[in-house]
A and B are shown apart, each in its own frame.
Chain A
Amino acid sequence: MKFKDKLKSLSGSWYFLGIIILTYILISIFSQEIYLKSLDFFTQIIYKIIPIFILVFVLMTLSNYFITPKFIMKHLRDKGIKKWFFIIIGGILSSGPIYMWYPLLADLKHRGLSYGLIACFLYNRAIKIPLLPLAIIYFSWQYIFILTIVMIFMSVIQGILINKIMEVKK
């Protein structure tokens, strides 16, 4: 394969990473302070996401093993509120940065999960049960309780809306 062909075969995501690394190299030349501060943030995030990576890997393996297209057909393509209930609970219970879940969701999409349900899952990830005590300390329990209920409700509305729009776009 010629170098030009090799370049063509690189996915856009590697170009994205390349551009970001290049930006870091430039910043390291012009501002050591920002460069070192960014690396410090980077190290902190990496330490945090490594355990989540392991969790995501385990969940992806389990989902590959147990969640077959037949399973999806049975539980998530049903009409009714059951599938929405499952996806809301899944979104709330999931942890870690949002982008860690994209590969798993893309996999589930190939197995028949609708775009609306994916959107609903991602929206409910905003509700973090372990962080609720801290949020209550800052904003009162009444506020956090109402906000949580409104967000769950709006996640379903967003899901339905996205399903409709994606259907039209097809």
Chain B
Amino acid sequence: MENNTIKQSSQKAIKGLWNAFPMILGTVLLVSLISAIIPKSFYITIFSKNLFLDSLIGGLIGSISAGNPITSYIFGGEMLSQGVGLIAVTAFLVSWVTVGIIQLPAESAILGKKFAILRNITAFIFSIIVAIITVLILEVMI
């Protein structure tokens, strides 16, 4: 049989979503808990104004954070106004949306452990590289 019918296709989709359901629900609960425990001020107070260390911290915080990117823009904007460097803020913004430590169990279970770990590690390293390249290009152009 070459093609599925719409009914078969939708049944397959329901099965796929049901398999992912406990992970999705668990992740939403975990994200909610972390958002309730970690206050917004925490993100601003831990930067040291050392370029490399701040990039690393920015990348790490972004990696363990989760939620709508709008929140990361607001945090990022506040960080800049507090004197945190643009490279650190960029690393934070990029890792917020590309690295998912909280979602790692779900990603591992559904897409494979090796792939999930590899993707998140490279995304974390790339968040720092993207930050450096972006800010350097910006400085050259403006």
Contacts and interface: CB of A to CB of B under 8 A. Distances in A.
Interface of A: 11-14, 16-17, 19-21, 23-24, 27, 34, 37-42, 45-46, 48-49, 53, 56-57, 60-62, 64-65, 68, 97-100, 102-107, 109, 115, 118-119, 122-123, 125-126, 128, 131, 134-135, 138-139, 142-143, 146-147, 150-151, 154, 157-158, 161-162, 165-166, 169
Contacts of A100: 24
Q: A interface, by DSSP: helix, strand, loop or mixed? A: helix
21 contacts: A12-B105, A13-B26, A17-B25, A20-B30, A24-B29, A38-B37, A49-B28, A57-B17, A61-B13, A64-B4, A64-B8, A105-B110, A106-B16, A106-B110, A109-B111, A115-B115, A134-B70, A138-B74, A147-B93, A147-B94, A151-B94
Contacts of A123: 98, 123, 126
Interface of B: 2-6, 8-10, 12-14, 16-17, 19-20, 22-33, 35-37, 68-70, 73-74, 76-77, 80, 86, 90, 93-94, 97-98, 100, 103, 105-107, 109-111, 114-115, 118-119, 122-123, 126, 129-130, 133-134, 137-138, 141-142
B107 A99 contact: yes
